[in-house]
């Protein structure tokens, strides 16, 4: 029998957004199907939110992740962190940015020490962090820096019906064209192949690579990138033993029959990947960061300041992120034992 992984650690995210609400709802609605987790957050904030939402939720202060297992069925375990100022739902308060950053740093320390099996990050508001000297482009880059890696992590979006990876991410379309190269496609595909094996227990991953241009370039009449960038990458990947097909016209890559032929689709730019998965599974898609030395998942939405404090926020994506993190942690343990 595979030994159980340590508890999952959940970060607080932006305290003026919906993270507290969805954290409470996730524990309340889904604790029976989730691996035990704890959250690094303000105990007072969560108690106040619980009361305002009319949810009967016990929150229990812990001082170490070792206490989580014994508490989890009856209370949400909270490793307390103090906010610098009050957190009013919907009103961004940059004074609380140090606590947001500290929660992420502590989570990485726990997972690096083996005290947590995976990290799940609640959404952050980057502008609030930038006002406090935060120098990283985003969450993922900060995690990479804390992990001490220089390579660019890979973002994979996961749902029950589709996995997608954008080879280029948060850049404009013209910049994405400049960034695309056979080397980047190859590097992304190799990281995906490793992750599918060790974290998703897929022994022979099948990768489908999307074309960039309509009709996969129509033999060059609609663009040359397929021949100059994508096909050379596919040839090299095949020479390394990777099961890969493409370049596939994107307009025929995501229907139900096509999705059965691959385990992940690599797309050339952000929206090419995110439009299909958000169309299929808007509420339950999970953001997974590949290429880190630890497991990190996140709900695929933002801080939602506009609905914070109303009780309307759905915990579905956070539940999916917590569930997937637990499964990946167990798969990684099993893979190490084989």
Every domain of the chain and the residues it spans = 1-154+283-338, 161-280
Q: At residue 168, what are phi and psi to the nearest 5 degrees? A: -110, 150
* Cβ–Cβ < 8 Å for 201, 334: yes
**Of 110-124, 199-213, 214-228, minimum mean pLDDT range:** 214-228
- Which segments of 93-160 does DSSP mark as H helices, in order? 97-112, 126-130, 139-147
Residue 275 has pLDDT above 90, yes or no: yes
CA distance readout (Å), 59 to 25, 40, 295 = 12, 12, 25
Q: CATH topology of 1-154+283-338 equal to that of 161-280? A: yes
Using the predicted structure, report yes or no on whether residue 34 has a pLDDT greater than 70: yes
Domain 161-280: CATH architecture, name and number where available: 3-Layer(aba) Sandwich (3.40)
> How far does Cα 19 stand from its chain's mean position?
15
pLDDT at 335: 74
Q: What angle do CA 245, 263, 260 make, to 5 degrees?
A: 85
Mean pLDDT of 297-318: 90
At 149 the pLDDT is 87
**Given pLDDT bands bounded at 50, 70 and 90, which one contains residue 132?**
confident
Distance CA 295, CA 288 (A): 8
Architecture in CATH of 1-154+283-338: 3-Layer(aba) Sandwich (3.40)
pTM: 0.91
Mean pLDDT of the chain: 92
244 vs 88 pLDDT, higher one = 244
**pLDDT of the residue at 337:** 65
Whether the pLDDT of residue 24 is over 60: the answer is yes
In sequence order, what DSSP letters do the residues of 261-292 get, joined into one string? T-SEEEESSHHHHHHHHHHH-TTT-EEEEESS
Most confident of 192-196, 278-282, 333-337: 192-196
pLDDT, residue 263, reads 98
Tell me which of 75-79, 132-136, 183-187, 285-289 is least confident.
132-136
Ramachandran region of residue 133, left (φ > 0), alpha (ψ -120 to 50) or beta? Answer: left
Of 139 and 37, the one with more pLDDT? 37
């Amino acid at each position: 029998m595979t030994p159980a992984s340590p508890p999952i650690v959940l970060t607080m995210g932006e305290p003026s957004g919906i993270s507290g609400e969805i954290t409470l709802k996730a524990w309340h609605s889904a604790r029976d199907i989730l691996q035990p987790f704890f959250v690094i957050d303000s105990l007072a904030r969560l108690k106040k939110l619980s009361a305002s939402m009319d949810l009967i939720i016990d929150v229990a202060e812990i001082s170490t992740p070792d206490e989580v297992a014994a508490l989890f069925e009856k209370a949400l375990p909270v490793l307390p962190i103090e906010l610098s100022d009050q957190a009013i739902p919907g009103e961004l308060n940059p004074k609380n940015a140090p606590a947001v950053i500290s929660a992420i740093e502590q989570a990485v320390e726990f997972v690096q020490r083996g005290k947590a099996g995976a990290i799940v990050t609640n959404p952050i508001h980057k502008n609030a962090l930038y006002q406090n000297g935060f120098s990283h482009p985003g969450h993922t880059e900060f995690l990479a820096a804390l992990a001490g890696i220089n390579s660019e992590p890979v973002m994979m979006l996961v749902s029950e019906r589709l996995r997608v990876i954008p080879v280029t991410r948060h850049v404009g379309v013209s910049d994405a064209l400049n960034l695309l190269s056979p080397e980047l496609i190859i590097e992304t595909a190799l990281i995906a192949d490793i992750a599918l094996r060790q974290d998703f227990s897929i022994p022979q991953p099948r990768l489908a690579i999307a074309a960039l241009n309509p009709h996969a370039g129509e033999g060059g009449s609609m663009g040359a990138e397929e021949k100059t960038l994508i096909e050379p990458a596919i040839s090299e990947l095949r020479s390394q033993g990777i099961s890969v097909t493409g370049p596939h016209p994107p307009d025929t890559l995501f229907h139900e029959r096509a999705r059965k032929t691959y385990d992940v689709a690599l797309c050339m730019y952000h929206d090419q990947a995110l439009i299909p998965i958000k169309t299929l599974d808007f509420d339950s898609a999970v953001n997974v960061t590949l290429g880190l030395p630890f497991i990190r998942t996140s709900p695929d939405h933002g801080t939602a300041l506009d609905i914070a404090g109303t009780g309307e926020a759905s915990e579905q994506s956070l539940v999916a992120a917590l569930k997937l993190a637990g499964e990946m942690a167990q798969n990684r343990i099993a893979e190490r034992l084989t």
